[in-house]
Amino acid sequence: LQNDSLEDIGGVDLVFDVFGGDIQKRSADLVRAGGTLVTVTGPPEARPAHGLAIGFVVVSDRAQLGEIAQRVRDGRVRTNIGAVATLDDAVAAFNPTKRRKGKTVIRVRP
């Protein structure tokens, strides 16, 4: 968001917080009634007024990650990618008037 503020986004159903702190607190205010804030930064510091706040931590296991990678190489795990967009085009990629089958991937690096 170059010239826009976080608050310009409007109400959302889900916030996936990877920053915590002030960003998490500001993001919690964006969650619509019945929505959810999920954070990976530890226990939630902020909670949506009329929604849920969930904190979780994932501990990587090298053997499990290797098994997943091998399953992908073997074709045993398939992904259904519907669209790939740049970070600049992320808002348009999630346009609710254009439904796509598959997952939308946002590429953050060229």
**What digits encode the pLDDT tens for the residues 51-64?**
999 998 777 789 98
Q: How far apart are CA 93 and CA 2, in angstroms?
A: 18
Question: Each residue of 24-53: pLDDT tens digit?
Answer: 999 999 999 999 999 998 899 999 999 999
Using a pLDDT cut of 70, give the percent of the chain over it: 95
Query: Residue 71 has what pLDDT?
Result: 92
Arithmetic mean of pLDDT, 64-85: 88
What value, to the nearest 5°, has the Cα angle with vertex 71 and ends 56 and 81?
70
Which segments within 1-110 are labelled E, that is strand? 12-17, 31-39, 52-55, 81-86, 103-107
Query: Residue 7 has what pLDDT?
Result: 81
Backbone phi, psi, residue 52, to 5° = -105, 155
pTM of the model: 0.52
CA 100 to chain centroid, in Å, comes to: 18
